[in-house]
């Protein structure tokens, strides 16, 4: 009976963690976003004009990142500090698991066009968007973490589409094709910095009544 008693609190704690972060709803949202992206990608005539996919590879990762951001909540910082297991590994596993799920499903939703606006651009944009969202969750809280992500990607999609030049590859990385290394570097840097900030510091504490 002792092994069962020892395993019970761990399993129960995992269930509580998932429920407090609304992870089932987040996973369902990510799968729904990927399904919608797949339907839109199928409807687009990207074989003749791959640039028709630009809104898709910007909006789908943005929506997925917003869903992930809302799950980066923390009801009580004191409980995390006094928990038997450190909070940082859980935060890291939480962020990586959802990002991996979103990246895999969105990549499958946009097959082909690997040199233009296909799976590579989708995965790159997701990584950058999640990084921005994770940083925002740390600074302003998970409830508002969507604001910087939507504002930046929305502004870039309007102002950066078709803008030539090396500088545009850096600041307008969400609307770049898949291969440019500079766009990948910025998106990867955003993911690493934002993810590290969230893992190390945790989300901005929210009111228990929010």
Question: How big is the CA angle at 145 (ends 116 and 131), to the nearest 5 degrees?
Answer: 45
pLDDT greater than 90 at residue 197: yes
Q: Which of 10-14, 28-32, 92-96, 192-196 has the lowest mean pLDDT?
A: 10-14
pLDDT greater than 50 at residue 6: no
Average pLDDT of 167-184?
Answer: 89
pLDDT at 80: 56
pLDDT at 112: 75
Tokens of 9: 């609190």
pLDDT greater than 90 at residue 31: yes
C-beta atoms surrounding 85 within 10 Å: 10
Percent of the chain with pLDDT over 90: 57
pLDDT greater than 50 at residue 130: yes
pLDDT greater than 60 at residue 92: yes
């Amino acid at each position: 009976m002792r092994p069962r008693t020892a395993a019970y609190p761990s399993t129960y704690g995992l269930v509580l963690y998932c429920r407090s972060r609304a992870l089932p709803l987040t996973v369902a949202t990510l799968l729904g976003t990927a399904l919608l992206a797949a339907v839109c990608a199928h409807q687009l005539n990207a074989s003749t004009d791959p640039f028709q996919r630009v809104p898709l590879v910007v909006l789908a990762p943005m929506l997925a990142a917003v869903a992930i951001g809302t799950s980066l909540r923390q009801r009580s910082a004191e409980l995390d500090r006094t928990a038997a297991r450190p909070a940082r590994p859980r935060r890291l596993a939480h962020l990586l698991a959802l990002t991996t799920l979103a990246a895999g499903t969105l990549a499958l939703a946009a097959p082909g066009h690997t040199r233009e606006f296909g799976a590579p651009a989708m995965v790159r944009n997701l990584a950058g968007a999640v990084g921005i969202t994770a940083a925002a969750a740390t600074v302003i809280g998970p409830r508002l973490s969507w604001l910087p992500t939507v504002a930046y990607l929305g502004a870039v999609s309007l102002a950066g589409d078709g803008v030539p030049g090396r500088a545009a590859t850096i600041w307008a990385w969400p609307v770049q094709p898949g291969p440019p290394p500079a766009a990948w570097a910025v998106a990867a840097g955003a993911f690493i910095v934002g993810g590290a900030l969230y893992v190390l510091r945790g989300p901005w504490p929210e009111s228990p009544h929010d």
